[in-house]
């Protein structure tokens, strides 16, 4: 299918079932993460998956490094509510074993799974079990002949590899396929998925691989995933951080919420402060952010540093405070409601949010 001409017009994809989650079609964009624990340590892996799910993960992947890890999937599945994906490198038999033990999807890297026949054995097994398969093309492990032809692990080289392996699957009438083309280069990631969108209507798992820690990883992931989503590309997203899985999920939610592609809780709008700022704004914003942590209402809360431009700058907010030297003005959609003393600002805002309608219909 061609890439949507209009921004945010979602690319049409086939729906693929992954346990109790649909990837692609009209389904919401699913959030994925990967457990950082050793899968053989089932207790820790279960705890990590449960934490990720309570943060908002829809699907969690686990590394399958040996037979013990493949077997652990059976026990993990009993204790978690989300689909579990087995991540396989090199050994196709581990993929088959993981499927036998209940994996809802297997992620295989065609560049290291050992050739067409082994890939097809895994795909046919997945099909027979009602599970999905992700062709996870990675710029770091492309086939030798493709690397020789393209010289660098470019977007074009990744697309060539993906096309080759998709044709193997389609010739054998394999369904339930998800595609990813990941590079640690944000540019090549965007180029790869954008090029690939013209060749297939299988849904895409998108993300920037090995994005790094903290600000670096969050920025690269947000630019890469955000750009693709704005082009309508992406059916499931994974933010890949050197950090806890829950941070990956939090970042994924904020990316989706920033683009109005999902609503997971309050959206804080706060001004950057400037020479007109009349209060120490940062601690106020931090206290409000902390107080809103457990609230899931899709409400926009603005906190502005001066009464001159504050309400005007946050016209779209459901509720806001424009702070001043002698107290703040509570406003809603840019219109003043009442004056609030400086020491009441945080409590008044939080109280307003708590009493606000919780359904999206109740919020304009």
The answer to whether 126 and 108 are in contact (CB under 8 A) is: no
Q: How far apart are CA 334 and CA 321, in angstroms?
A: 10
Nearer of residues 95 and 321 to ligand SF4, judged by Cβ = 321
Nearer of residues 44 and 277 to ligand SF4, judged by Cβ = 277
Q: Would you list the DSSP string of 265-296?
A: S-EEEE----TT--S-HHHHHHHHHHHHTT--
Task: Give 32's strand partners.
Answer: 59, 238
Q: Which 8-state DSSP code applies to residue 362? A: G
What angle is formed at CA 11 by the lines to CA 7 and CA 12, rounded to 5 degrees? 145
Residue closest to 19 by CA, chosen among 93, 76, 88, 91: 76
Q: How far is the CB of 312 from ligand SF4 (least distance, A)?
A: 8
Nearer of residues 155 and 340 to ligand SF4, judged by Cβ = 340
Q: How far is the CB of 313 from ligand SF4 (least distance, A)?
A: 5
| Residues in the chain, total | 364
Q: How far is the CB of 344 from ligand SF4 (least distance, A)?
A: 20
Q: How far is the CB of 290 from ligand SF4 (least distance, A)?
A: 21
Q: How far is the CB of 15 from ligand SF4 (least distance, A)?
A: 45
Q: How far apart are CA 353 and CA 164, in angstroms?
A: 53
Distance of CA 208 to CAs 45, 128, 197, 211, 252, Å? 24, 31, 17, 6, 12
Nearer of residues 237 and 306 to ligand SF4, judged by Cβ = 306
Q: How far is the CB of 21 from ligand SF4 (least distance, A)?
A: 41
Q: How far is the CB of 346 from ligand SF4 (least distance, A)?
A: 17
Q: How far apart are CA 166 and CA 179, in angstroms?
A: 9
CA dihedral 232, 158, 180, 260 (to 10 degrees): -20
Q: How far is the CB of 300 from ligand SF4 (least distance, A)?
A: 15
The answer to whether 65 and 31 are in contact (CB under 8 A) is: no
Summarize as ranges the residues that interact with ligand SF4 (CB under 6 A): 271-274, 276-277, 304-306, 308-310, 313
The answer to whether 239 and 211 are in contact (CB under 8 A) is: yes
Helix axis angle, 67-79 relative to 42-55, nearest 10°? 50
Nearer of residues 36 and 300 to ligand SF4, judged by Cβ = 300
């Amino acid at each position: 299918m061609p890439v949507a001409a209009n921004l945010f017009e979602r690319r049409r994809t086939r729906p693929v079932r992954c346990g109790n989650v649909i990837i692609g079609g009209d389904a919401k964009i699913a959030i994925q993460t990967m457990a950082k624990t050793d899968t053989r340590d089932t207790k820790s892996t279960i705890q990590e998956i449960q934490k990720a799910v309570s943060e908002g993960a829809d699907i969690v992947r686990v590394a399958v490094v040996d037979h013990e890890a493949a077997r652990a999937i059976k026990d993990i599945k009993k204790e978690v509510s989300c689909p579990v994906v087995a991540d396989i490198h090199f050994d196709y038999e581990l993929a088959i074993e993981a499927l036998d033990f209940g994996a809802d999807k297997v992620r295989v890297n065609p560049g290291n799974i050992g050739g067409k026949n082994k890939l097809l054995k895994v795909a046919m097994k997945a099909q027979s079990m009602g599970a999905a398969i992700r062709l996870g093309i990675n710029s770091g492990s492309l086939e030798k002949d493709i690397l020789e032809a393209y010289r660098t692990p470019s977007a074009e080289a990744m697309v060539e590899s993906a096309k080759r392996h998709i044709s193997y699957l389609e010739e054998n009438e394999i369904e339930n396929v998800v595609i990813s083309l990941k590079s640690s280069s944000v540019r090549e990631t965007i180029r790869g998925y954008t090029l690939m969108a013209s060749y297939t209507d299988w849904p895409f798992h998108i993300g920037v691989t090995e994005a790094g820690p903290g600000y670096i990883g969050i920025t690269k992931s947000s630019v890469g995933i955000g750009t693709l989503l704005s082009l309508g590309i992406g059916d499931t997203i994974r933010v890949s951080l050197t950090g806890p899985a829950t941070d990956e999920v939090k970042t994924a939610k904020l990316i989706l919420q920033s683009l109005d592609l999902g609503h997971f809780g309050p959206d804080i709008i706060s001004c950057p402060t400037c020479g007109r700022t009349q209060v120490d704004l940062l601690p106020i914003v931090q206290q409000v952010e902390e107080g809103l942590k457990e609230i899931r209402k899709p409400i926009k809360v603005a906190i502005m540093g001066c009464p001159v431009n504050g309400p005007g700058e946050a016209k779209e907010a459901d509720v806001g405070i424009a702070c001043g030297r002698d107290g703040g003005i509570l406003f809603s959609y840019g219109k003043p409601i009442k004056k609030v003393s400086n020491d009441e600002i945080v409590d008044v805002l939080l109280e307003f949010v708590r009493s606000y309608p919780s359904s999206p219909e109740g919020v304009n």
